[in-house]
Structures are given as structure tokens and as C-alpha cells.
Amino acid sequence: MVTVEKKMFKGKMQWLFVLFLFGVASIHAQQDAQYTQYMYNTVSVNPAYAGSRGHLSIAGLYRNQWLGLDGAPETQTLNVHTPVGYRGVGLGLSIVNDKIGPTSETYFDVDFSYTIQTSDEGKLSFGLKGSAHMLDIRYSELDEFEVDPQLQSQQDIQNKFSPNIGAGVYYHTDKFYAGISAPRMLETTHFDSSSASTAKEQMNLYLITGYVWDLNPSLKFKPTLLTKTVQGAPLQVDLSANFMLNEKFIGGVAYRWDAAFSGLMGFMLSDQFMIGLAYDREISELGAATFNDGSFEIILRYDFIRNIGNMKSPRFF
């Protein structure tokens, strides 16, 4: 664990805290990008979700974490997935870019799923993910700070490539879903043992579930749960409760265990186009810092739905 003095939170030194906290100094557990609206971005964490919406679906997400902190994490995600033919096959493509201070990671993912009908309503999907990981670290940006000379002497890393694979299982009906996945299973060490810095990317294991209740003809209630575990880091537990009114308006709250409270809202601009917003307020010591104005997230999703007139309602997950 790297100790960071309070003075490093001021001015240009602020982003250095994030750098040390997440991965250029010696680290044994590197976590995947974090999402508050994970319930609308499931394919990013579980490849078995690919094609499960029954039509071509495209989504883009932007997250700005810890507003006001220079160099704080920013995440951009773009994914598209669709069923293929009539034999239960689904395919997906994703791009995830995660920036923290002078570091940048980009994942290019290909998802494959195969779905079997288990009952009149239930479907069980098995998924595989193949990833190409590109890592950039700009050590040259450390030169103006008083940091470890060993770090300053390192050469910038540009587009360091490493492959990865993942897998997942996903079950759903019209009202319920549950899944377990490990989107990146290979434990990749990005630097050799002789380097001043090491970053080992370890397997993140996800469990997701949710259920939709029809409280009355115009109001739906959906509680959801996500847990994420990785060796060397605290267990992450995300709980949310969302309501959908008249198939158009979505509002809810979320709680990240011992870390943050969130407010969520969304609008179905049509049966095909959804926009979702989320705002997190940290309840940890970091949340009390004057420079931290919380975290913001926006997601846009468009479903290329055929035969809209035959649909009962847009699916809530």
C-alpha cells in the first residue's frame, strides 16, 4: 500500500494520488473499470449477455469519476451486440478506454454467446470473450514532481499489447436475470521483476442479478445486485432500486457498499432509444475532500427493434 501525503491533493499534484493509488507503483490487484449503470451495460462484464436482447443493440457510456480531481479516472465504453440467425448464437464487439492520470488502458473485446431454451420462459446463455489490451504510461509527465527517481528514469510505455480471455453464464426470463462471469481470466504482469514498477492484472469475478415487479399497470420496480471480487482488493457490492413509470421514465437510487450513494434517472425517448444518467457521492474519506465533487455517468442505448407493434413493452434490463 502506497502512502500519499495530504499535500499531494493540491494543484497539479492531485492526479499523482490517483496514479499511485491505482497502478504505477507496485500493485498486486488491478480492477476492471467501474460502472454505476451496470444493469444497462451488462455485456461489458458478461459475454453471455451478447444477443440476449433479441435484436441488434448499441450502447455508449461515459464516466467521469471524482469530479474536480486532476487526473481522476475517466472511462468511455462503446459496445454493440446482436443475435445471429435462429440457432441461439450471439456476437458482440466492445471498446473500453480507461484513463487514470498519465496512464491509459484500452480493451478491444469480441464476445460470443450460445443460448439454449430451458423452459417456456427461461433461457440460459454461455459466453466467451476475447480481448486485446493496450497500455500506455507516460513516465515523462512525472519529471516536474518530486517522486521516486526510479520512476522518473523509466521510458514511456506506448501501446503495450497483451491478450486476454473471459467467460460467463447468464440466465434470464422476461422478469428475472442472473449471471456469473470473469471477463478477463489471464493474470497478466505488465512489467518484469527488474522494473521499478509492476502492475499485475488479476481476474475479476462478477455476480449480477435482478428482478422486475409489476406494481400496477403503469409502474415497475426493479432491484438489482452486482458483486465484484478480486484478490487483494475489498469485495465490491452494488445495490440499486429502480422504478419505471409508463414505460418511459426511470428513477432510482443505488448504494456501493462502504463507498458511495448514487442517484439514477433515465428516459425512454422511444421504444428504441434510452438515455440514462447517474451521479455518485462518495461516503469514504475521499468523498469528504474539498476537490471531490462526486462522479458522473451517462449512457445512451439504441435498440434496432423489428416489429415494434408486436412488442408488449421495452425490456427493463
Name the residue with cell 499535500: 7
Distance (Å, whole) CA 76 – CA 52 = 23
Assess if residue 3 is contained within a domain: no
pLDDT at 148: 55
Distance (Å, whole) CA 163 – CA 279 = 33
Beta partners for residue 157, in sequence order = 137
Q: For the chain, how are helix, strand and coil distributed in percent, rounded to 5?
A: 15, 50, 35
Average pLDDT over residues 33-52: 93
Assess if residue 33 is contained within a domain: no
Residue 302 predicted with pLDDT over 90: yes
Q: What is the pLDDT of residues 270-279, one digit of tens each?
A: 989 999 999 9
Residues 62 and 88: beta-carbon distance below 8 Å = no
pLDDT at 144: 52
| SS3 label, residue 288 | helix
Cell of 86: 435462429
Q: What is the pLDDT of residues 195-215, one digit of tens each?
A: 545 556 778 999 999 999 999
pTM above 0.75, yes or no: yes
- pLDDT confidence bin for 83, thresholds 50/70/90: very high
Distance (Å, whole) CA 302 – CA 103 = 31
pLDDT at 26: 38
Assess if residue 267 is contained within a domain: yes
pLDDT at 142: 63
pLDDT at 12: 43
Q: What is the pLDDT of residues 133-173, one digit of tens each?
A: 998 887 776 655 555 555 555 677 777 899 999 999 999 99
79 exposure class (CB count in 10 Å sphere: 0-12, 13-18, 19+): buried
- Using alpha carbons, list the distances in angstroms from residue 245 to 105, 215, 276: 38, 10, 14
- pLDDT confidence bin for 53, thresholds 50/70/90: very high
Distance (Å, whole) CA 247 – CA 312 = 10
- Using alpha carbons, list the distances in angstroms from residue 95 to 29, 105, 228: 22, 11, 21
Highest mean pLDDT among 13-17, 139-143, 219-223: 219-223
Average per-residue pLDDT for the chain: 83
Assess if residue 226 is contained within a domain: yes
pLDDT at 19: 46
* DSSP per residue, 103-154: EEEEEEEEEEEEEEE-SSS-EEEEEEEEEEEEEEE-GGGGTTS---HHHHTS
Cell of 5: 501525503
Q: Give me the domain span that covers residue 240.
A: 46-191+202-303
Q: What is the pLDDT of residues 230-257, one digit of tens each?
A: 887 889 999 999 999 999 999 999 999 9
Average pLDDT over residues 45-63: 96
Assess if residue 87 is contained within a domain: yes
The CATH number assigned to the domain holding 90 equals: 2.40.160.40
| SS3 label, residue 189 | strand
The total domain count for the chain is 1
Assess if residue 285 is contained within a domain: yes
Assess if residue 248 is contained within a domain: yes
